[in-house]
Every structure is written in structure tokens, then in C-alpha cells.
Structure 1
Amino acid sequence: MNTWFITGTSTGFGRLLTEQLLDRGDRVAATLRRPESLDDLAQQYGDQLWVGRLDVTDSTQVRQVVDAAFVALGTIDVVVNNAGYGVFASVEEASDEQIRRVIDTNLVGSINVIRAAMPHLRAQKGGRILQISTAGGQTTYPNFGYYHASKWGIEGFCQTVAAEVAPFGIALTIIEPGATPTGFGNSLDSAPIMPEYEDTPAGDVRRALAAGAFPLPNDPAKIAGAMIDLVESGATPLRLQLGPDTYRDVRASLVARLAEHEAAEAVAFSVASA
């Protein structure tokens, strides 16, 4: 039996993880902005479930809730950074507030959860961190620039952290799910459309999304199960792609970047000091 700390448990992967873990007998510290969303699980599972009100954009609250969870539950084996926010807009369309929110939630919020958990994980001499990212942590799509900024940022941070904390027996894995019917797409924030972008890739993607032309090929319950299986297996990859679309898109991005990288070899070496 493991004990898990999970952010963003009201819907999507956070809710599914919580349900599956409780059903198999694990303990869960579930955090979310509206704790009443988990009243049904609290009634069914009793002391197996610890619920905390948490807005990850509030750094003081993050420290308080993480500390309280470790005090209440003792050892926490797995910390899952799942809370997220997305804005669907071209570079000029998003508001200052929307940009701050996506960075504060997906990047700064995730960073602060990891920072708050780290002293506890070091003291107990081990643990796991699962950082929920996306294919968009290594690829890009028009109208998702600010979401990509947050996800590319958190992946760079986590790759650094993974190396720093390995000597303490702490492993970190970046989870990259593909397009999945979790309701996240319906919750995307949007902005007033600028006509200047109608005949650009941003406009093409907007129309395709409105027409339902983007497939959602992955099973959210299977993705949650794969995260649990990863922890149970003891494997500690730095990244785990979940979904055939993620695998294909990330691979294509890496291949293109490597080709561009290799094409720059001559100019790269030409600026070396004699």
C-alpha cells in the first residue's frame, strides 16, 4: 500500500487516479480548489482519503497544505503534480491575466508543490514525483503558445530537479499524455478573436477544433492505470509518453530538431576560439 499526494483531483486524471488508488486500498491526500467535489469518495472511503483545499497559485497555501498532509499521513510515497490550466489563443489574443494564470498554475504552481514536498521526501529518504505534462511539453501547436511555455518550462525544471534529488533516493518522472477525453479541452479558456489571424495556422487550428476534427484516441482510465503501474514497477524513467499520438508527435519533433541540430554543426564549430 502506498500513500499519494495529488493536486487537481476534482476532474480528469486527478479524479481518476484518486478513484483507482482508493479502490485498490492505497491512501490518497487529494487536493483541489473545491473539496466538496470529493464528498462522495470521502463518504465511501473514510480515513483512506485526506482532502485539502488547495489553489496551487497560492504559494503560502501550497506550503501549508503539503506540510499538513505529511503531518496527517506520515510518509507520502508519491507526489503527483496534476493541477493545470490552459488558454487557447494566438500570441496577441491572450490577456495579461490569462498569461499570468497559465504560468502561475502550470509552471510556478508545480514548482512550489515540488519545493514544498522536497524537505519531507528528503527526511523520509525517498519517494516519487510524477509531473503531469503533455505531448505539448516537447511539441507545439498553434494557439497553445502560452500553454507550451508553461509545459516546456516545467519539463526543463523537472529534468534539472531529477538529477539534483536522485542522491536522496527521490525519483521524478514527467508524464506526457496525449489527447484524451478528460474534459480539459472543454475547460480551455479563450480570448476575443483577432481577424488578422483568421488566415494563419492559428485560424486553421481554431476552425478544426470547433469542427471536432481533432481525435481523442486515448482512454483516460488506462492512462491513470499506467501511472499507477509505473510506480508499482519501480521503473524510474525521466519521461513517459502515454498515447500513440504523443509517441508519434514527440518522435517527429525530436527527429526534426536533431536534423536541424546536425545541419548547424559547421557553423557551431566555426565560432570556436582558435
Structure 2
Amino acid sequence: MTKTWFITGTSSGFGLLLTRRLLAAGDRVAATLRRPEVLDDLRAEYGDQLWVRRLDVTEPDSVREVIDAAFAELGTIDVIVNNAGYAVFTAVEEASDEQIRKVVDTNLIGSISVIRAALKHLRPQGHGRILQISTAGGQAAFPNFGFYHAAKWGIEGFCETAAREIAPFGIGLTIVEPGAAPTGFGAALDTAPIMPEYDAGPAGDTRRAIADGSFPLLNDPEKIAAALVTLVESEAVPLRLPLGPDAYEAIRTSLSSRLAEHDSHRETALSVVLDEFANR
């Protein structure tokens, strides 16, 4: 059965690959991006099957207007894919205030704005799926990605809460956590002047690994796009879906380490309870 998808950030990467795959399969796509002309070739090929609008997710009023228009003109929308993203690749002291704000505005507040605007329509509709594109760095952390992690860990916490709240309305939400893939996202990473104090440490090591290719891009972007389609078709609604061996291992290592540290503090954690609750 054909579906209608609403996807942000369709100019490149997963967003564009997913859009092409869905159109070829006969689905309808509401594609949003900051430069709509990028999709002129697809519009010429697929006509009314592809609905395109300019959208910068850092503009909340525009988010509401575009999502309202998509539902008004297309009727039912089955899947919302929150894919638009921006990252700055710097040590924690190196980035400018403007860069930090853009990371948070795009990846955290922008994603929240899309979900909230869509829920106004999905809730009375009585069904729908939200795929929040995160990253392995939504649960694990790497030097030079501190601000990206701040936004992605934040959106994962928001989505975990939202998933519980919206489940009674027949709306499913999955956080998708891809590993490294050659999508061009890495080449688009913003940077800042390097501080030698950080270049001699883990931040510099990560920079050099990416520059010399020893930080591998293991995963096939087409396979990741296909996995998203398969997820929706299966009707399974996992809260999180890691994609890629690097994502799986990085997240597992992070969770195991956090759990071990957490358990090591059990005695201290229990020691601060009020006396009247101590023996309950």
C-alpha cells in the first residue's frame, strides 16, 4: 500500500536517498529543504507525486506553516522523517557562540518544532509514524563532536518522553541511530580555528583520523535508506534503531560503561534517603 512521507533535509544525504527510493516505489513524498531548486529534476520526473517546499527548521513559524500546508494539500501523511541536520566539528572551546546556537537550533529545537507541528495533525488522524534521525552519537560520545552530541542526546531524551505520550493516539516514534556513512555530511561539517592546546590531545587525534581516512565510513547510505523503509513496512515500532556495526558497538560500549559506573555508586546513592523511608 502506498504511503505519504514528509521528510526534512532532502537536498542531500539520507533525505535525498530516501526521497528517491520512495518515489521510485510509488509513494508520495512531501520534501522540504532550504533550496527547493535542488529537486527540480525529481519534480520534472515525478510530477504531483513529489510535493516540495522551502523550509529552514530553525524558523518555527515556517515549520508550522509548511506542515499545515502539507496536510491540507496532501491529506493523510503517514510518516514524518526528521532528518535536517547541522554539525560543527570542534573542541569545546573552539566553536563560536553562533555555531553552537545553530547546532542546537537545527538539531534540537528544529526537530522538536517539526514533531510538535506534526502532532497537531497526526493525533486527530489517529495513526502515523515519526522517524527521528539521530546518530550513534546520540548515546555515545567522541572528541570534537561535543555540541552535536549535546543536541542529539537532547533530542533523544525529548523523543523518549514524546513516544510515551503519543502512543495512546496510535502514533509511533523511532529514534534512528546510523553509524558513519559516506553521505557528504562529513564534508559539510563546520569548523573553527584550531587551538594548539586541544590539537595535541584527543580532539586533534580525532581530526587527524578523519583527515587521513583511518576513521572509517563503514555503512552504505542506500542500505540505511532501505532499512528505514523496511522498518515502516514492518509496522514494528522500536524506540531506538541502531544502524551499522560501528553504531551498534559504540552504543553498546557506552551503555555497558555507564551501567558499570552506575552500579558502582549504588551504596552511595542509597545512603542519602530520608530516615523515614530507609527501611521501606
- TM-score clears 0.5: yes
Q: Which residue of 2 aligns with 1:216?
A: 217
- Unmatched segments (≥5 aa) in structure 2: 276-280
Q: Size of the alignment, in residue pairs?
A: 274
For residues 44 and 210 of structure 2, what CA distance do their matches in structure 1 show? 39
Please give the per-residue CA displacement for 1:45-76, whole angstroms capped at 9, x wherever unaligned.
Answer: 01100001000000110000000000110000
What CA distance in whole angstroms lies between the structure 1 residues aligned with 2:19 and 2:218?
Answer: 22
What is the CA distance between 1:273 and its match in structure 2?
A: 1.1
Aligned to 1:99: 100
| Cα drift, residue 116 of structure 1 | 0.5
1:210-232 alpha-carbon deviations (Å, 9 max, x no partner): 21211111000000000000000
Letter aligned with residue 82 of structure 1: N
Give the secondary structure class of the aligned counterpart of 1:207.
helix
Distance 1:201 1:62 in 2: 38
RMSD over aligned Cα atoms: 0.5
Residue in structure 1 matched with residue 151 of structure 2 by the alignment: 150
Structure 2 residue aligned with 1:186: 187
Aligned match of 1:21: 22
Matches within 5 A, 1:71-150: 71-150=72-151
* 1:104-134 superposed Cα distances (whole Å, 9 cap, x missing partner): 0000000000010001001111100000000
- The one-character-per-residue Cα deviations of 1:208-254 (angstroms, maximum 9, x if unpaired) are 11212111110000000000000000000000000010001100000
Check if 1:64 corresponds to 2:62: no
Under a length normalisation based on structure 1, what TM-score does the superposition of the two structures give?
Answer: 0.99
Match of 1:10 in 2: 11
Q: Which residue of 2 aligns with 1:266?
A: 267
- Written as runs of structure 1 = structure 2, the 5 A alignment for 1:151-170 is 151-170=152-171
The residue aligned with 2:245 is: 244
Q: Which amino acid aligns with 1:153?
A: G
Distance in 2 between the 1:26 and 1:264 partners? 51
Alignment partners' CA distance in 1, 2:187 and 2:195: 21
TM-score by length of 2: 0.97
Partner AA of 1:6 in structure 2: I
The letter of the residue matching 1:255 is S
Segments ≥4 residues shifted beyond 6 Å = none
Aligned-pair distance for 1:140? 0.3
Letter in 2 for 1:211: D
Superposition deviation, residue 206 in structure 1: 1.3
Asked if 1:54 is matched to 2:55, the reply is yes
Identity of aligned pairs, percent?
A: 70
Secondary structure (helix, strand or coil) at the match of 2:176 reads strand
Distance 2:84 2:217 in 1: 20
Alpha-carbon separation, structure 1, partners of 2:10 and 2:73:
18
Question: What stretches of structure 1 of length at least 5 have no aligned partner?
Answer: none
Please tell me the residue identity of whatever aligns with 1:232: E
Q: Secondary structure of 2:6's match? A: strand
Which amino acid in structure 2 is aligned with residue 270 of structure 1? Answer: S
Paired position in structure 2 for 1:36: 37
- Cα distance in 2 for partners of 1:27, 1:92 equals 44
Give the partner amino acid of 1:252: T
Q: Which residue of 1 aligns with 2:226?
A: 225
Q: Report the alpha carbon displacement of residue 196 of structure 1 after superposing the two structures with TM.
A: 1.2
CA distance in 1, matches of 2:226, 2:80: 16
Classify the secondary structure of the residue corresponding to 1:69.
helix
> Which one-letter code corresponds to 2:93 in the other structure?
E
Question: C-alpha distance in 1, partners of 2:53/2:125?
Answer: 22
Q: Which letter maps to 1:139?
A: A
In the alignment, does 2:236 pair up with 1:235?
Answer: yes
